Amino acid sequence: MKATRRILALLLCLSLALAVSPAALAAEDTSAQPETSVSAPAEENAPAEAPEASGESAPVEESAQTEEEQAAESAPEEEKAAESAPEEEKAAESVSAQSEEPEQDEAEPAVRAPETEEAGEAEDDAPTALTPQSEDVGELTKDDPLYYTPEVTLMEGEDHGYENYYALSSALGRADGEHPLSVKVKVPGRYHVSSSGGALMMRSNTTLDLNGATLIRSGDMYNLMQNESLDGGRSVPGYTATRNVTVKNGALDGQGNQMPGKNLVNLGHAQGLRFENVRFLHGQGAHLLELNGCKDVTIRGCTFDGYVHNGADSQPEAIQLDISYDGTGKSWNGVYCETGTPGCDNTVCENILVEKCQFKDYPAGVGNHHCLYGGPKNKKITIRNNSFTNSVNWGKVNDYEPPAIWCYGFEDSEISGNTITGIYQCGVRFSGGSLKVKKNKIGTKAKPVSYPPIYVTEANSYVKNQKDKRKAESVTGGCVDGNTIYTTYFKSNNGGITVYGKSKLSSVSKNTIVSKKGNGISIGKNSTVKNVKSNKLTNPAKSGIYLGSGGVVTNLSSNTVTNAQKSGIYITKGTAKNVNGNTVKNGKSHGIEAGSSAKVTTVNANTVTGCKGAGIRITNKKLKITVQKNKLTGNKKPLQISAKGNIQKK
């Protein structure tokens, strides 16, 4: 009977266990805590092993007792069951107590244990406070503010170039044109970026903060960076591809001759671009930064450094400002002006500022080398307060070397406050359009520039839709004022400032020129300057101011020429209507000279001293001229005049 009662107690325990929810039973398989659910199956075998043993009876139904008695009588090994009886009695009593007080059900831990485990799972699945540098940043949705401010973790080493490309591209790809996107490189370092011919694509309203990092073009990349519209368009009309893009605070490295001769950064049909504190490094056979038909661009505090010549007949600019032109299949930039697409619409660069930048060892610093004859011109270009240095002789292209600043067909533009030293063909070459060249410092006393430091002449411009056909296009306006120049140029009659090719300027004034070879200022080949005045010319190897064939000056006044190796002011086949108020000292030839074909109206109130020739010499007998109130002292002869007119006597 005791055995029967024990068996009944165990059955009650089993029934309580079965009453637990399926979720609890499921938890029992994985939880280490629910002792009751684990121990219950072990005691189910007790009826087969347990013999009769003494103990108090438990209150059960009669029918159940009879059935259990039969089961107990058939059970073997009664002696083993008797030995374990005391423990089983205790278990039975415990189960009996549970049946009487269910609110104290000890199966509760088996239910609570899964709650603890589920809570742990919920903690893992709960949204964490992700930051842009989190490895899980890709899981952010567009509704999360951090989605538009990702920080990108890059890996150093060339073998990580493709991974870095996809990390940056994924972050930049979040641009939607509406929300400002700000992508930041998390840790400064040198990071290779590789792709199979692709580039990092910049789209509207995007800022890329390099945070001191250097991105190195590697692998099969052509351009490290391009821009495109949200739908992937590049050869599109006007300035519609991209708006409002900023790149700042780091370096972009083209790797020189280890990479194809392609532009490092290639941008077009864009508006509102900014580059601040970026170093553009190691170009090869192409430009570091190409702007093709772009508007409202600021390039400030940047460095452009290092060029590898690839042997081509090309000496490119570090920054090229170009037009989206395609004539008879010859495109100036096939990416943004693909033949037969809307992008070939002659979109010009407009409102471009290049300020406080450094250009080092690049054939040409900034500008372009072609324009359209009679067509639209780049306009409102400002290049100011930059430094240009070059220690490499890159050789000649088309019989000349590129200049530091190369302006083909610029209109309503200004080049001012720049410092230019080293080996350049010119400091500023200005061809076609209208341009102010003001307050630049070109060359030094120790290292003068070796060609006309400022060269104003016609542009050899392309004729629209006629492949390779070109016509000369002249400068239509502007000035060259307030520049300081040191030059050693020795060919022809060019000077520190040269104005040729039917150019028209309002003034060449207040310039300071030290010219060890050549003329100080040279104007000829049918060019016109209204005012040449208040210039200071020292040690010119030829003349201080030279007017050649067809050169016309309305007022040549208030200039000072010292130690000229030839005449201080020399007018050969040109025209100077008024030569008034100038000072010439210690010339090796004449002070003021007008040749037999020169045209001069007045030579008044000039001061000429210490010249080894005549103070004033005029040999054109056909002239009717006024020569009055000049101070002529210490010259070999005061006057030598063949012309007629109102001539002072001495």
Between 580 and 423, residue with greater pLDDT = 580
Domain ranges of the chain: 2-123, 150-523, 524-650
Determine which of 5-14, 173-182, 418-427, 570-579 has the lowest per-residue pLDDT on average: 5-14
Q: How much is the pLDDT for 455?
A: 92
Q: Report whether 611 contacts 633 (CB < 8 A).
A: no
> What is the pLDDT averaged over residues 22-33?
39
Confidence grade of residue 166 (pLDDT, cut at 50, 70, 90): very high
Q: Is the confidence at residue 120, as pLDDT, over 60?
A: no
If you write DSSP's letter for every residue of 554-575 in order, what string do you get?
Answer: EEEES-EEES-SS-SEEESSSE
Cα gap 4→52, rounded to integer Å: 8
Q: How much is the pLDDT for 126?
A: 31
Q: Report whether 527 contacts 552 (CB < 8 A).
A: yes
**The domain at 150-523 falls in which architecture?**
3 Solenoid (2.160)
- Beta-strand pair 289-292/317-322: parallel
Q: Percentage helix, strand, coil, to 5, in the chain?
A: 20, 40, 45
Determine which of 347-361, 434-448, 605-619 has the lowest per-residue pLDDT on average: 434-448
| Cα 513 to chain centroid, rounded | 36
Q: What is the mean pLDDT of the chain?
A: 81
Q: Is the confidence at residue 542, as pLDDT, over 70?
A: yes
552-591 pLDDT, tens digit each: 999 999 999 999 999 999 999 899 999 999 999 999 999 9
Confidence grade of residue 211 (pLDDT, cut at 50, 70, 90): very high
Confidence grade of residue 22 (pLDDT, cut at 50, 70, 90): very low
Cα gap 241→234, rounded to integer Å: 6
Q: Is the confidence at residue 9, as pLDDT, over 80?
A: no
Between 73 and 232, residue with greater pLDDT = 232
> What is the pLDDT averaged over residues 19-35?
39
Burial 259-278 (b: 16+ CB within 10 A, else e): bbbbbbbbbbbbbbbbbebb
Q: How much is the pLDDT for 47?
A: 40
Q: Is the confidence at residue 17, as pLDDT, over 50?
A: no
Confidence grade of residue 329 (pLDDT, cut at 50, 70, 90): low
Cβ neighbour number for residue 632 with a 10 Å cutoff: 21
92-113 pLDDT, tens digit each: 444 344 444 444 443 333 333 3
Q: Which residues neighbour 475 within 8 Å (Cβ) at sequence distance 6 or greater?
A: 430, 431, 432, 433, 434, 435, 456, 457, 458, 501, 502, 503, 504, 505
Q: How much is the pLDDT for 41?
A: 37
Q: Is the confidence at residue 536, as pLDDT, over 80?
A: yes
251-268 pLDDT, tens digit each: 999 998 788 788 999 999
Q: How much is the pLDDT for 628?
A: 97
**Percent of the chain whose predicted confidence (pLDDT) is above 90:** 59
Between 165 and 470, residue with greater pLDDT = 165
> What is the pLDDT averaged over residues 41-50?
39
347-399 pLDDT, tens digit each: 999 999 999 999 999 989 999 988 899 899 999 999 999 999 988 776 655 44
> What is the pLDDT averaged over residues 60-65?
41
Confidence grade of residue 72 (pLDDT, cut at 50, 70, 90): very low
Total-model pTM: 0.78
Q: Which residues neighbour 535 within 8 Å (Cβ) at sequence distance 6 or greater?
A: 508, 509, 510, 511, 512, 513, 520, 521, 545, 559, 560
Burial 220-255 (b: 16+ CB within 10 A, else e): ebbbbbbbbbeeebbbbbebebbbbbbbbbbbbbbb
Q: Is the confidence at residue 8, as pLDDT, over 70?
A: no
Confidence grade of residue 494 (pLDDT, cut at 50, 70, 90): confident
Q: How much is the pLDDT for 392?
A: 79
Between 284 and 109, residue with greater pLDDT = 284
Q: How much is the pLDDT for 142?
A: 80
Q: Is the confidence at residue 2, as pLDDT, over 70?
A: no
Between 361 and 129, residue with greater pLDDT = 361
For residue 6, give the nearest of 105, 66, 86 by alpha carbon: 86
Q: How much is the pLDDT for 138?
A: 53
> What is the pLDDT averaged over residues 306-333?
82
> What is the pLDDT averaged over residues 215-224?
92
Q: How much is the pLDDT for 396?
A: 59
Confidence grade of residue 139 (pLDDT, cut at 50, 70, 90): low
Q: How much is the pLDDT for 328?
A: 67
Between 124 and 613, residue with greater pLDDT = 613
> What is the pLDDT averaged over residues 624-628?
96
Q: How much is the pLDDT for 452?
A: 77
Q: How much is the pLDDT for 517?
A: 75
Q: Report whether 323 contacts 347 (CB < 8 A).
A: yes
Cα gap 344→418, rounded to integer Å: 33
Q: How much is the pLDDT for 40?
A: 35
Q: Is the confidence at residue 12, as pLDDT, over 80?
A: no
CA distances from 34 to 93, 219, 317 (A): 20, 60, 79
